[in-house]
Amino acid sequence: MTSWMAEPDPALTDAAGTALAKALAGRPLVTAERFGSSMRTLYAGPGPLSRARPRLAIGCYPGWERAAPHAVLAAEDRTRVRGPVQRHSWTRTVDGEAAALLAALPVPPVIAAWYATEQLRRWAGPGGTVAAIDGRLRQAIEDKAAFDTLLESAGVPDRMRIPCVRIDGRLPALADLRRQIDARRLVVQAGSDCGGRGTVFVDTEADLARAAAMPGPYKVAAFVPGWSSNTTVLSVPDSRGGVAVYVDRPSHKAIGIREAGIGPGKSAGNDWSRPWPSKAAADVVETAVRIADHLWAGHGMAGLFGLDAILTPEGQAVFNEINCRNQGTTEVSAVNQQLRGLPPFAAAHLTALLGGRVDWMPDPGEFNAATVTASATTGVGPFYLKLRHRGAIPVRLTAQRGSGVYRLNPAGDLTWVRAGAHPGQANADLGEILLANLPAEHVVCLPGAELGTAEALTTGPGTPFAAPHQLSGFGANVLDTLAAHFTPASDPTPSR
Q: Which residues are registered as beta bridge partners of 416?
A: 406
Inter-helix orientation angle 345-353/330-339, to 10°: 110
Through-space distance between the first and last CA atoms of the chain, rounded to whole angstroms = 39
**pLDDT tens readout for residues 402-425:** 999 999 987 778 999 999 999 999
Whole-number pLDDT of residue 495:
45
Runs of H (alpha helix) within 309-449: 330-339, 345-353, 364-375
pLDDT at 137: 93
Full-model pTM: 0.95
Q: pLDDT per position in the chain (496 positions), as tens?
A: 788 887 888 999 999 999 999 999 999 999 999 999 999 999 999 999 999 999 999 999 999 999 988 999 999 999 999 999 999 999 999 999 999 999 999 999 999 999 999 999 999 999 999 999 999 999 999 999 999 999 999 999 999 999 999 999 999 999 999 999 999 999 999 876 655 568 999 999 999 999 999 999 999 999 999 999 999 999 999 999 999 999 999 999 999 999 999 998 899 999 999 999 999 999 999 999 999 999 999 999 999 999 999 999 999 999 999 998 888 899 999 999 999 999 999 999 999 999 999 999 999 999 999 999 999 998 999 999 999 999 999 999 997 899 999 999 877 789 999 999 999 999 999 999 999 999 999 999 999 999 999 999 999 999 999 999 999 999 999 999 999 999 999 877 554 4
Q: Please give the C-alpha separations between residue 183 and each of 220, 221, 354, in angstroms, as whole numbers.
A: 11, 8, 46
Q: Do 118 and 276 meet the contact criterion of CB atoms below 8 Å apart?
A: no
pLDDT at position 496 is 41
pLDDT at 193: 66
Identity (one letter) of the amino acid at 51? R
State the DSSP H helix or E strand holding residue 132, giving kind and residue range, or none if neither.
strand 129-134
pLDDT of residue 328: 87
Angle at CA of residue 221, ends 383 and 210, nearest 5°:
90
Residue type, 130: V
- Tens of pLDDT along 168-184? 999 999 999 999 999 99
Q: 177-181: which pairs have CB atoms within 8 A and are 24 or more residues apart?
A: 177/202, 177/208, 177/220, 180/220, 181/220, 181/221, 181/222
